[in-house]
Structure 1
């Protein structure tokens, strides 16, 4: 049946799909590394965002350029526009020219981006201390909390484990570093052309915000997003212009003004299902006018620029995982690198379960020889 065939084609059981995810992952890591290197004092954030997007466009443009039987080229490019969010800004800061700001020495900057090849998405985010300064205060605590939580997630997202286990680990590690996991932050299952799949891992569960428990399964793909705060862990709306949107495909409406119709037509042509930045719209005036009318008629989903209380700091790490027969494979995300020395936290993981977990290898290679139970053996076969 055609539905089953489609499912088969877009599943990691198809080696071609795995190859596309890995290729997208390599490009994301390259773009992330280049933007991080350019995060120096006085660097303009809008230029950094444009650089990240350009690298992803250029690198995806070099691959898979043969046309299919119908003469169509494969879709590829930016899957989430480059955002550089500083200090108390939680995320999604990808400004228009004229609304940007320069980086300052000592800023805690979070770079977040994603690209896709044929709809197969790889995403990543990393935190940097601008200017290479050493920090020993709460900034160091929040960075190391987010990093350790990311390392715990990498070890817990295995076939048979649950999303609840991951959320609980975030809470335990945050407590040890005396910080808070950010409310409202979700890690999503990725599918072809879907950046926000229904299966989610919540960063911080509250009475108002809960997600359904599930077990991780073979051949799934996840974008794992860890955001920690020195404050209350509650993002508040700002007066900063929101620039990142996604077409709400289930809503149809014929817009009235010419500029709004031009705007939504360009969105449907270039960004039919994945997020985009208003910077990417060819005519900025069309973008500014069109977006307000499109929002009014609920044609767009918004990625708001939220912030913590002033003087608080937010840190983020994000990576993409493939749940393959040989085990969980991390295909994006950079090493801690110089942050190891820069973020000199006096705190550490003290929860015994978390310490044991973090002491294990994130990439165990010898599971099949030990033959520990059916699940372990199965994981190493095929």
Structure 2
């Protein structure tokens, strides 16, 4: 075996001189012993990290845009009247700080989902045009949502099927496979979609028109939603809140085809509480009516509400009508024997991929399910799965919707889904 080569010893003075020279190089100056002149050397700059920006169509995950996990806070509104003290209360502020310091907190999950919603709808609102099919529009929204939220089973994904209800249809329409409906210039379309992170759903909706005839209808409904948000708060009675919404909504009228139509709040639709993995608050969910009622139920601290309002130029009442697209496993699904093997298999797929989150037929198609209608209808008949047919006012009328989700924090309310657009 060869001996190891010994290192040549260097006098201490030379070592010190070399170290000083190294320091000088770091400072950008080098002394040259040969001529005694100092020669300046350009300091190498570290390349700056390129700021990550969103693409069009949106495909960059929100976690990449906010790598520190600090997602934008929603619009903050103070509580009114008897609850105004909460804003400055040390106890309430302490409770809020403790909740926010936990990276796994509700606030972080909701805000991440809300930022996904804002960025996806920003692109959708400027991209959706007459001549596009309903399926094409749904794909624009859902593909963007899945990419930005980094869809991961029950951890994060689409909150519920994209609603694209047209004209007299107010809610619960999403295109099934083979749908051939195309958006027309004169249509009034409700765009209602959701995003979830760890089961915390952000539910927000807007309405699109492409000519000015029904602008006042949209204005009425947006104003009513904002009224509901403004008047909502801890200890507010839901029946009274509905009265404020109705009063705002029905102060508007629409002129179309030479006739004047009063805007009516759709009396049998409502806003609702949202709990983890349940868009309508589970069995004990609360409803936010759109008209004044005798409901004395109060809003409570920590609750999470979808304030959504619907207005119509028709009778102001909807009925179920049309082909079903929306489904959801019942929150309290009964344990019953299933005689169809296909129904058992389909239920496993539903449990694994959706749990109690709403889904539609296109989502089953996407998972590779086929010829499942008989099994799906059997699950509905057994009460294990609920179906949600389209909800429609009278033919010829026009309906509109606006919606935000709000969080009743200890010190104030946060309109988590608020954006520059609405």
| TM-score calculated relative to the size of structure 2 | 0.68
In 2, the alpha carbon distance for the partners of 1:100 and 1:261 equals 31
Q: CA deviation at 1:13?
A: 6.3
In 1, the alpha carbon distance for the partners of 2:309 and 2:349 equals 33
Q: Secondary structure at the match of 2:406?
A: strand
Which runs of structure 2 are paired with 1:38-53 in the superposition (5 Å)? 38-53=127-142
Determine which of 295, 307, 321 is the counterpart of 1:224: 307
Instruction: Judge which range, 218-227 or 324-333, deviates more.
Output: 324-333
**What do residues 4-37 of structure 1 show as CA deviations (whole Å, max 9, x unaligned)?**
xxxxxxx996222111111111112222233323
**What do residues 140-184 of structure 1 show as CA deviations (whole Å, max 9, x unaligned)?**
332111011011112111223222232001221232112111122
Equivalent residue number for residue 200 of structure 1: 287
Which runs of structure 2 are paired with 1:76-87 in the superposition (5 Å)? 76-87=156-167
Equivalent residue number for residue 25 of structure 1: 114
- Residue 54 (1) aligns with residue 143 (2): yes
Per the alignment, do residues 61 and 336 of structure 1 end up closer, same or farther by CA in structure 2, a change over 3 Å counting? Answer: closer
Equivalent residue number for residue 406 of structure 2: 321
Determine which of 361, 370, 374 is the counterpart of 1:285: 370
Q: CA deviation at 1:284?
A: 5.2
Q: CA deviation at 1:336?
A: 5.2
Equivalent residue number for residue 223 of structure 2: 148
Q: CA deviation at 1:335?
A: 4.6
Per the alignment, do residues 40 and 250 of structure 1 end up closer, same or farther by CA in structure 2, a change over 3 Å counting? Answer: same
Per the alignment, do residues 38 and 269 of structure 1 end up closer, same or farther by CA in structure 2, a change over 3 Å counting? Answer: same
Which runs of structure 2 are paired with 1:5-24 in the superposition (5 Å)? 14-15=99-100, 16-24=105-113
- Residue 109 (1) aligns with residue 189 (2): yes
Equivalent residue number for residue 171 of structure 1: 246
Structure 1 residue ranges without an equivalent (≥5): 1-10, 66-72, 338-382
**What do residues 30-76 of structure 1 show as CA deviations (whole Å, max 9, x unaligned)?**
222333233201111112112222222222217xx8xxxxxxx8621
Equivalent residue number for residue 53 of structure 2: none
Instruction: Judge which range, 189-198 or 86-95, deviates more.
Output: 189-198
Determine which of 212, 228, 248 is the counterpart of 1:134: 212
Per the alignment, do residues 165 and 336 of structure 1 end up closer, same or farther by CA in structure 2, a change over 3 Å counting? Answer: farther
Q: CA deviation at 1:247?
A: 0.2
Q: Confirm or deny: 8 A CA contact 1:32 1:124 kept in the other structure.
A: no
- Residue 247 (1) aligns with residue 322 (2): no
Q: Confirm or deny: 8 A CA contact 1:200 1:211 kept in the other structure.
A: no
Q: CA deviation at 1:334?
A: 4.4
Aligned length: 308
Higher helix proportion: 1
Q: Kindly report structure 1 stretches of 4+ aligned residues shifted beyond 6 Å.
A: none
In 1, the alpha carbon distance for the partners of 2:395 and 2:97 equals 44
In 2, the alpha carbon distance for the partners of 1:318 and 1:163 equals 17
Determine which of 106, 124, 147 is the counterpart of 2:204: 124
| TM-score calculated relative to the size of structure 1 | 0.75
Q: Name which one, 1 or 2, has greater alpha-carbon Rg.
A: 2
In 2, the alpha carbon distance for the partners of 1:303 and 1:167 equals 24
- Residue 185 (1) aligns with residue 265 (2): no
Q: Confirm or deny: 8 A CA contact 2:250 2:265 kept in the other structure.
A: no
In 2, the alpha carbon distance for the partners of 1:211 and 1:276 equals 33
**What do residues 272-299 of structure 1 show as CA deviations (whole Å, max 9, x unaligned)?**
1111111101245333232222112222
The alignment's C-alpha RMSD in Å is: 2.3
Q: Confirm or deny: 8 A CA contact 1:225 1:316 kept in the other structure.
A: yes
Q: Secondary structure at the match of 1:101?
A: coil
Q: Secondary structure at the match of 2:212?
A: coil
**What do residues 327-368 of structure 1 show as CA deviations (whole Å, max 9, x unaligned)?**
21111144557xxxxxxxxxxxxxxxxxxxxxxxxxxxxxxx
Instruction: Judge which range, 110-119 or 180-189, deviates more.
Output: 180-189
